[in-house]
Amino acid sequence: MSDNLSDIWRSQRLPGITISIAELQQRARRLETRLIRRRNIGVVAGIANLVVMSINDVFFFDPPYRLWWMLTIQFLCCIILFAYWNTPTAGDRGHILTLRAPETSTPCVEFYRNRLLSLRNSLRQGRIVMIVSSAAGAILAWCSTWVSKPGLLPTGILLFVGGIVWYAVIRRSIPPIESELSDLQSLGNASPE
């Protein structure tokens, strides 16, 4: 059977790995810790956002300045949330963090479809955030024409341009995913175990 590709494929000599049960347990604990840390960072960013909004309400009564302060802090909180929630799918080995144990044993086509759907939905949500960000930037830039506050115009322009650029980047990423999903649809529905 030496002329058989399947035999050639299966006869490959690959450096195997041996992971002891103790090491697997340790890795699982580390993974759990990383997940909890991510969740906590999200909660802290959310609380920080609320605190800043409250301070803003109590101490700043000048409307344009209040708007600038609120939007800047909210923008920073969004960056923190995005960095920590998006890194697992974009960073090295981070994808393992987003895998939930029950879903890993689902049939492959269904699993792959779910991963693509979740990626597409997160991109769509990101697109909405970018629209809001550029709209906020435009409002800030417009406010700067009748209120003289340092940093108001550059912040507005930064938010507006940044939002537009990221919106364009995200928009380009969605059609290939849609096309992949449509290919999967044509393959037929996945059946449960």
Partner 1 sequence: MSIRDTRRDGLYQEAVSSFGSALGRVAKAYEAEPEKQKDLLQDIHLALWQSLERFEGRCSLRTWVYRIAQNVSASHVVAEKRKNAVRWLSLEEVEGLPQVGDPVGVANRQLALDRLTDLIRSLKPADRQIMLLYLEGMDAESIGEVVGLAPGHVRVQVHRIKTVLSRRFHGGVLHE
Residues that bind partner 1 (CB under 8 A): 2-6, 8-10, 12, 14-17, 19, 21, 24, 27-28, 31, 89-96, 98-99, 101-112, 115-116, 119, 173, 180, 183-184, 187-188, 190-193
Cβ closer to partner 1: 69 or 85? 85
Q: Which is nearer to partner 1, 54 or 185 (CB)?
A: 185
Q: How many CA atoms lie within 13 A of 19 on its CB side?
A: 6
Q: Which is nearer to partner 1, 76 or 129 (CB)?
A: 129
DSSP state of 97: G
Distance CA 83, CA 67 (A): 24
Question: What residues contact residue 81 under an 8 Å CB cut-off, 6+ apart?
Answer: 42, 45, 46
Nearer to partner 1, 84 or 112 (CB): 112
DSSP string covering 11-27: T---------HHHHHHH
Write down the least CB distance from residue 158 to partner 1, Å: 25
Least spacing, CB of residue 2 vs partner 1, in Å: 8
Q: Do residues 171 and 127 lie in contact, with contact meaning Cβ atoms separated by under 8 Å?
A: yes
